[in-house]
């Protein structure tokens, strides 16, 4: 059977872009379809704009130390409109760069919504096309709960598009994205209330890391309403009243943002027409990203795989290498480092202490330290840095590393490489660090 394309990719986010460009290098005839701007959630609506906002927020902490470092008192006067305009210019520039890379690779770009008609046939904007292999890389989307008044609340994506900065906002959610947003908006001098259903933020995270981040957020002025959930939202004059479970007093804010989770963005794809199996976590895939249909594959946030941009990129490239490069390979999803872009920043790789004890039992040894970093010794900032290594005592192998503090992501990323190579606690003990740095303290943990 003759097909229009060797590969058709649905979704031009990190996974789809990586797969299409790699497959095109193997001389495959490739097309990619996207409804939004090229780049997907990460570039346009997620990681990149959020990171830029995190950079902007970090200045408020630096300013607090500027006076005693000899720079005089810095006036805190953040211009939301000026920053958003600059951020959007750079996002548009990045999107154009990704479009250019597709053109240079020889990938045909189509714009519009795609729907399956059968395992090899797709419909896009009224036109039918066929492909030998199809890759689904449609990502995820924000969700909001079904409660009275939820229409007055906004999603994270809508939050990032606001033209005016909220003076007081409620962030509903306890995951890493909610924690990130709370820290950002607090750093940009908004008043922030974060509403979480459990006792602590970041469920599933290492307990000492959870506690440290929550304590530091509270010191920064973020109000955390624990063991609460929003039962309903009532509009009032120029504000919203959030009625919380078990509380007689509502939380009154200007803006309410639900960051309670994301789901695979599968609406309208017509997966049932192709026979693609979907479970509660998304599109079911095997170790080669193949779905229940032999010629259809999926990568990224629409699958049960870890929802991180580098994971989608790695899976997309592995798919292309396997299917078009005659180099069969899979991805190892163990020990993937990730950042908790809180204020202060945190990062982690490997097992939490609780996970390690469940796996290795009483042999587990933990080494940790909490201290004021050198930068904070002059100035007004009172913000602890926290380091922790989790070690399997039987083998001396480091099975987890956790950090809260400036540059945590950069430090933990390198430890992730060492853990892949089987680093032991003895290796840390025998390493001489660069002084004075925060990361050298990992080599002094006893």
118: number of Cβ within 10 Å: 12
DSSP string of 234-261, one letter each residue: EEETTEEEEEETT-SSPEEESEEEE-S-
Pairwise CA distance, residues 172 & 259, whole Å: 6
Q: What is the 3-state secondary structure (H, E, C) of 105-153?
A: HCCEEEECCEEEEECCEEEECCEEEEEEEEEECCCEEECCCCCCCHHHC
First to last CA, the chain: 66
- How many residues in the chain? 446
CA neighbours within 13 Å on the CB side: how many for 303? 27
Task: Report phi then psi at 66, rounded to 5.
Answer: -60, -40
Pairwise CA distance, residues 225 & 244, whole Å: 9
Which of 143, 45, 118, 122 is closest to 88 using CA atoms?
A: 45
DSSP string of 295-361, one letter each residue: TEEE-GGGSSS---HHHHHHHHHHHHHHHHSS-------TT--EEE--SS-EEEEE--HHHHHHHHG
Q: Is 435 one of the catalytic residues?
A: yes
What is the SS3 assignment for 31? strand
| Active-site pick, 98, 120, 176, 435 | 435
Q: Any residues with CB less than 8 A from the CB of 371 and at least 6 apart, and which?
A: 384, 385, 441
Paired strand residues for 297: 135, 290
Pairwise CA distance, residues 93 & 309, whole Å: 19
DSSP string of 204-216, one letter each residue: TS-HHHHHHHHHH
Which of 13, 80, 85, 11 is closest to 47 using CA atoms?
A: 13
Pairwise CA distance, residues 270 & 263, whole Å: 17
- Give CA torsion, residues 55, 253, 74, 91, to 10 deg: 30
Pairwise CA distance, residues 136 & 138, whole Å: 6
Cite the active site residues.
435
């Amino acid at each position: 059977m003759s097909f229009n394309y060797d590969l058709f990719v649905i979704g031009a986010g990190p996974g789809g872009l990586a797969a299409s460009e790699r497959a095109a290098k193997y001389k495959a005839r490739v097309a990619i379809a996207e409804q939004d701007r090229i780049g997907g959630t990460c570039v346009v609506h997620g990681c990149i704009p959020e990171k830029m906002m995190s950079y902007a927020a970090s200045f408020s902490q630096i300013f607090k130390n500027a006076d005693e470092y000899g720079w005089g008192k810095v006036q805190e006067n953040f211009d939301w409109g000026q920053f958003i305009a600059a951020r959007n210019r750079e996002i548009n520039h990045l999107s154009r760069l990704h479009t250019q890379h597709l053109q240079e690779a020889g990938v045909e770009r189509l714009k519009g919504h795609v729907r399956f008609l059968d395992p090899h046939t797709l419909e896009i904007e009224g036109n039918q096309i066929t492909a030998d292999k199809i890759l689904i890389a449609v990502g995820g989307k924000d969700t909001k709960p079904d409660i009275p008044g939820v229409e007055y609340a906004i999603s994270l994506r809508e939050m990032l598009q606001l033209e005016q900065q909220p003076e007081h906002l409620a962030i509903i959610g306890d995951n890493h994205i909610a924690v990130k947003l709370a820290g950002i908006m607090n750093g940009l001098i908004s008043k922030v209330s974060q509403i979480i259903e459990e006792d602590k933020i970041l469920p599933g995270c290492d307990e000492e890391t959870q506690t440290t981040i929550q304590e530091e957020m509270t010191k920064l002025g973020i109000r955390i309403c624990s063991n609460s959930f929003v039962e309903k939202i009532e509009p009032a004059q120029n504000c919203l009243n959030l009625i919380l479970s078990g509380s007689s007093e509502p939380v009154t804010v200007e803006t309410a943002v639900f960051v309670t989770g994301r789901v695979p963005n599968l609406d309208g794809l017509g997966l049932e027409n192709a026979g693609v199996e979907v479970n509660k976590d998304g599109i079911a895939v095997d170790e080669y990203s193949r779905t229940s249909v032999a010629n259809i594959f999926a990568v990224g946030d629409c699958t049960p795989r870890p929802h991180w941009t580098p994971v989608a990129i790695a899976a997309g490239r592995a798919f292309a290498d396997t299917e078009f490069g005659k180099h069969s390979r899979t991805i190892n999803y163990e020990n993937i480092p990730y950042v908790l872009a809180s204020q202060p920043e945190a990062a982690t790789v490997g097992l939490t202490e609780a996970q390690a004890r469940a796996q290795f039992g009483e042999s587990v040894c933990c080494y940790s330290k909490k201290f004021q970093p050198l930068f904070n010794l002059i100035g007004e900032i009172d913000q602890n840095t926290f380091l922790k290594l989790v070690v399997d005592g039987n083998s001396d192998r480091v099975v987890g590393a956790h950090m809260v503090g400036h540059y945590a992501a950069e430090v933990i990323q390198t430890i992730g490489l060492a853990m892949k190579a089987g680093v032991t606690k003895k290796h840390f003990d025998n390493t001489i660090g660069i002084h004075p740095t925060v990361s050298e303290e990992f080599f002094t943990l006893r």
